[in-house]
Amino acid sequence: MRQVAVVGAGMTRFGKHQDRSMKDLAREAVENALRAAGIEKETIEAAAVGNAVAGLITGQECIRGQVVLREMGIGGIPVINTENACASSSTAFHLAWLYVASGMYDTVLAVGMEKLFHPDKKKTFEAIGSAIDLEIADEFARQMSGEQAAGAGESRSVFMDYYANLARAHMARYGTTREQFARIAAKNHTNGSLNPHAQFQTPRTMEDILAAPLIAEPLTRMMCSPIGDGAAAVVITTAEKARQLTSKPVYVRASIVASSQQHAEGAPGIVTNAAQKAYKMAGISPQEVQVVEVHDATAPAELIVYEELGLCSPGEGGKMIDDGVTTLGGRVPVNPSGGLLAKGHPVGATGVAQISEIFWQLRGEAGKRQVAGAKVGLTENGGGVLGNENAVASVHIFTL
């Protein structure tokens, strides 16, 4: 397969964009990505568009990518609409990569987009419930009221129990502490304060995180990612064309999408499997990775993913955050963008936003949150009920 490189990225700020449509958000992201790549929209030969729940939010299921792109004058090309829950747009990126790697097309756009906020809150809740997703449980608690209480409360309990159970199991097995989870959330909120695209830009201490309302032991509200709207886009092309466009192409060294399966107790989970395939594909070891964006749906998820990605040994996630290894300035900063916890998590936009962050980091364009000298980056994006049979994981590895 051909070598592929990212040559441009763009995203909106994540957050509550009550007055903006998904089209409008996508336009901002795509136009910024094209501008960053220094190419005209006519150069784009195909597009892959990730979105999770617009069907339920808008009542309009079909060809959402075409509808969004033609607004900005992009048409006549193959548009692949794809959905993989919270991993929708890393899946879109994977398909865009496949188009270029295969030799089918040279220059392809990958877009992630989502509007979760709706004037009718019930629609937001239904859509989120539909995402079989967990991380937004915080907002269920935050926004629950009156008529939504029953349904939302039930979802919340399923969601939070799940993550809380995972966290408690890790605590029981390895002695991991609430303070360690809080330290992860504090790191991400503090990173978010350095990122103009982040939904939350207020630095937080471990004490702030622990003082937030308890959702389900050990999770406090600030250990959970919020509801948000947003879009992100990247332009990819062949290595050869990339070198004509920029002195700093960001090469895609591995692109893996996996789904989970029934497996024996104690067998490696979906993230571990996807990561191992990605390392093998890239010919890169976990120890060589210098900057990482992971799917921190909740703070404990990030800690567990350290281990699943092989950034540390099983059970040593707590020590890793205590030692500051994953903090900005540490050996391998994780979620310098603020992650899902602070940058936000508009479901279908998250995957491409993670890739955008690694693009900027490897090129030295990440501003105040820059990881100095990073040349190897990794993204991990999850979807569905992780640990369950209906889950998705996507791992990408990039080098300058």
Active site residues: 86, 345
CB of 311 to a copy of itself, least distance (A): 23
Q: Which of residues 256-285 bind a copy of itself (CB under 8 A)?
A: 256-263, 270, 273
Residues constituting the chain: 400
CB of 198 to a copy of itself, least distance (A): 25
Q: Considering only residues 4, 25, 44, 85, which one is a binding residue for a copy of itself as defined by CB under 8 A?
A: 85
Q: Where are the beta strands (DSSP E) in 285-365?
A: 291-293
Question: Does 155 engage in binding with a copy of itself (CB under 8 A)?
Answer: no
Contact characters 104-133, a copy of itself, x per CB under 8 A = x---------------------xx--xxxx
Q: Which of residues 162-221 bind a copy of itself (CB under 8 A)?
A: none
Cβ count within 10 A of residue 145 = 9
Nearer to a copy of itself, 133 or 302 (CB): 133
Q: Do residues 393 and 308 touch, judged by C-beta distance below 8 A? A: no
Secondary structure of residue 362 in the 3-state scheme = helix
Round to whole Å and give the CA distance between 189 and 369.
12
Q: Do residues 221 and 144 touch, judged by C-beta distance below 8 A? A: no
Q: Do residues 77 and 48 touch, judged by C-beta distance below 8 A? A: no
| Identity at 95, one-letter amino acid code | L
Question: Does 67 engage in binding with a copy of itself (CB under 8 A)?
Answer: yes
Question: Does 81 engage in binding with a copy of itself (CB under 8 A)?
Answer: yes
CB of 367 to a copy of itself, least distance (A): 33
Question: Does 297 engage in binding with a copy of itself (CB under 8 A)?
Answer: no
Q: Do residues 89 and 232 touch, judged by C-beta distance below 8 A? A: yes
| Identity at 81, one-letter amino acid code | N
Look-up of token digits 């993230």: 271
Phi, psi of 197 (to 5 degrees): -85, -5
Round to whole Å and give the CA distance between 86 and 133.
7
Q: Considering only residues 95, 227, 254, 358, which one is a binding residue for a copy of itself as defined by CB under 8 A?
A: 95
Part of the chain binding a copy of itself (CB under 8 A), chosen from 253-261, 311-319, 331-339, 368-376 = 253-261
* Binding-site ranges for a copy of itself (CB under 8 A): 1, 52-53, 55-56, 59-64, 66-67, 70, 73, 75-85, 91, 94-95, 98-99, 101-104, 126-127, 130-133, 256-263, 270, 273, 383-384, 389-392
